[in-house]
Structure 1
Amino acid sequence: MTTLTRKLALLAGLGLAVGATAYVPPAAAQGYVSVTVGTRPPPPRYERRPPPRSGYVWAPGYWNWAGGRYIWIGGRWYGSRPGYIYRPPVYRPYGHAWRYERERWDRDPQWRGRR
């Protein structure tokens, strides 16, 4: 093997190694995160839902648990994700407490590549 061929092979191998470590897969699914809170969340605040926007999904406001108390987070628009369904955050009873499940995008089982 010539010196130039070895250098090119080493450079190609180094490029593949760096590329493999720098690769970040697309966020197709998110991990499950929950928080358990001892007190029931307040009732949702009324928010006027804006008119639909093409290419966006409306995420309604919700009560977030932060710093030992509930804080209202207002509704907002998210860019739609073809093939996914937006699931807003929810509080579910959990024994004598409440479990907060974060918002997430679930794979749409009905999606067939339509746009």
Structure 2
Amino acid sequence: MKTLKRILFMSAAVVLFSTVNSNAQIVVRARLYHRGPVVVRPARPSANHVWVESEWVPRGGTYVERPGYWAVAPRPRAAWVPGHWDRRHRGYAWVPGYWR
């Protein structure tokens, strides 16, 4: 008799537990990256100028953002490849942009 009560109690607990958790949701919290203010490009000075995106420049043991600017390409049909953050062993390092 005790085993029958135990089986009924366990099955009732399983049914109740599955009913209660059927509406369970997974919540993921993340900090979204904020790009900062929108930068409006000034007018292009000439057809030879290429827009260089903002860059991070090392200064005083930290990185400082240098805003974008127009630059004359060093050679015809040169393209600016923007810099990017590269994941390293102990964090991230800034890889500066270059002319391709």
Larger RCO: 1 or 2 (CA < 8 Å, sep 6+)? 1
Deviations 1:28-74, CA, capped at 9 Å, x for gaps: xxxxxxxxxxxxxx845532122333110011222222211221212
Q: Which residue matches 2:64?
A: 71
Tell me what 1:58 maps to: 51
88 and 94 in structure 1: CA distance in 2 versus 1, 3 angstrom threshold: same
C-alpha distance in structure 1 between counterparts of 2:58 and 2:92, whole Å? 11
**Aligned equivalent of 2:40:** 48
**How many residues were matched structurally?**
65
Aligned to 1:84, what secondary structure does the other structure show?
coil
In structure 2, the partner of 1:84 is: 78
Name the amino acid aligned to 1:78: A
Please give the per-residue CA displacement for 1:16-36, whole angstroms capped at 9, x wherever unaligned: xxxxxxxxxxxxxxxxxxxxx
Q: Which ranges in structure 1 are unaligned for 5 or more consecutive residues?
A: 1-41, 107-115
Corresponding residue for 1:37? none
Q: Determine the structure 1 residue equivalent to 2:18.
A: none
TM-score, length-normalised on structure 1? 0.46
Counterpart amino acid of residue 48 in structure 1: V
Length-normalised TM-score, structure 2: 0.52
Give the aligned partner of residue 23 of structure 2: none
- Alpha-carbon RMSD across the aligned residues, in angstroms, is 2.2
> Taking every aligned residue pair, what percent have the same amino acid on both sides?
22
Say if 1:44 and 1:62, in contact at 8 Å, map to a contact too: no
Q: Which consecutive residues of structure 2, in runs of 5 or more, have no partner in the other structure?
A: 1-33
